[in-house]
Structures are given as structure tokens and as C-alpha cells.
Structure 1
Amino acid sequence: MYPLTTYHLHQIFDELDRNKDGLVSVEELMSLLDRLGLQAKRAELELLVGDKALNFFDFIFFYQTLNRIIVQENTCEIKEHRAEEEDLRKAFGVFDLNGDGFISGEELRIALGRLGLWDDEKRCGNDCMQMIGVYDTNSDGLLDFEEFKEMMSGDSLESS
């Protein structure tokens, strides 16, 4: 998403300034946020605005401030997503014992046994294949990383 130009901001300002007094009031901003489906408390908006209304130059500053906040929040979300993805890749590596990019029933059985999560080897082999089968979307008998992510999130079970 690209930042708005001064021309576009002026058009938005003029549209928001319903009473054409050269100011955009907190009420007019609240109306905009409501139309966008965004929730804001009046007190919070007044704190951001600093006054009861914004002239055009204050409106530009207000927009730039909101834009910076949104960019920072998006950057934080991207970093969190990358960290989660990295954690999942490490967990995947615990189960992908031969490093081929797939988890077989045998690898799952061995890894669960090493982690002390399963003792009955005979039953575990069948159960491990059934576990893989639930998330094995391409029916190759193996879990790739994307299928493993689904398994860890539990999405396939919820939609079944």
C-alpha cells in the first residue's frame, strides 16, 4: 500500500469536512472510522487529534502518524509470523530424521519414542500412520512442511 498524496489527502479532507468550515472534527473522523468498520473511542480519538478538530495541515500530520503506526504494527506482525515459521521449521526438523523434507510414519514413531511420548512400538506404528493420514492432503503417506503446519495448528481436524 502506497502512502496517499497531498492531492488525495485534500480530497479526503474536503469530503470529511461536511459543514465546510475548513476543519475536520472528531465527530467527522468518528463517522469515517465507522464507515470503514473501525472502532475508536471518542476519548482516544480526541487524544490523537489533540483538539476538537483538525485543519488541513494537522490532518496531514494525523494521517502520517496513523500511517507510521500501521506500518510499525504490520512490521511487528511480519516479524512474529517469521519467528513462528522458524519455530515450526525447527520442530519439523525434530521429526524429519533423515532430512529429506518429509515425515514418515516410522520417523514420527521414532521421534515420539525418543521424546518419551510413546512406548508401545507396535501400536504406535499404526497410530502414527493414522495421524499422518489425517493431515496428508496429497495422500503420499508422508507429511511435508505445509501439512505439518496444518497438523500443528489443528486446522484440518477442526474442518473435518
Structure 2
Amino acid sequence: MATPATIAFKNHHLHNSKSFHLRSPSLNSLRLRRVFDLFDTNHDSVITVAEITRALSLLGLHTDTDASDLESIIKSYVRPGNSGLTYDDFVILHRSINDLFFGCVEEFGCKEEQDEADLTEAFKVFDENGDGFISATELQKVLGKLGFTEANEMGRVKMMISSVDVNHDGRVDFKEFKDMMRTLQ
């Protein structure tokens, strides 16, 4: 259940920004560790409520709630006997915040949504004019920028297009691109 603190934080600071997501699990873990270490100002491997409050304040992420609400939220993730969040507790808190703000629980389709978003971004790289299709000319330009020798021969580029062009219109739409990428994976 969302508390007033989490709702206020969500409404005033994140605005469902997709940039908060880190797509690479190894980068996510590394960056999360760095954030933990920055919050852990006394370097005792535990983040206290005071350290989190101070860090949020320095980042300009003031919530519209009082300190007791924030303390209550954080303490719900602190294991009995600890004075604050260990790194493992911090990871669990981060996942909970991510799920709350972005509505995505990995076991229930989050990966598929992220894969779709990644494919859309990749498609946009090839679809230079934004018309929703990848033409042979667009593919040739991208291949050239990437240094592929196939870019030098339009015939080869057209063969690449025709190999995935299911509806035979001479260009690749997003569905054809998606099917091709999933086949390659």
C-alpha cells in the first residue's frame, strides 16, 4: 500500500521518467552500489534514516511529508537488529520503489515491456526519416555509419531488406523488424 510519502515523492519528483530505469543489470548493480556508498557518509556499510534524509535534501528531493513518514518507510526495510539499511536492504527498497513508480514487476512482464521499448529505440535508429519504415537507403546509411562493407553495394542492402520484408513492399515495418530481431536472439 502506498503511503503519503511515497505518493508525494512519486508525484513531485519522478513523473514516471523512464530515464530512471537502467537497462543493463550489471550497470544497474554497479550504479546502485555507488549510490549506496554516497548515502553511507560514515562508511559503516549501513544507511541510516538521517543519512538518507541528508542525501535527499542535498539532491533537492524534499518530500511533502514529515520526517516520521520517511523514517517509517525506511524502517520497514531495515532488518531486525540493524540500525539502518544494509546494501541488500537498499536493493530491496530500490526494487520496491521501481515497481511502485513504474508499475512493473519483473516476474509479470517487465522484461517483455523493456524488450519492446528497446526494439522501438533500435528501430528509430534505422528509420531516419521517422515514417515508420526502414528503406534500403536508410539501411545503407546506417550500415555505412557502422562501417559495414555491405553498405557499399545497394544490391546487397536490398537483399537484406527483402529477406525480412514479409509483405513484399520493399521496406521493413516495425513488426517485420521485431520478428527479425527476435529470430536473431
Length-normalised TM-score, structure 2: 0.40
Length-normalised TM-score, structure 1: 0.46
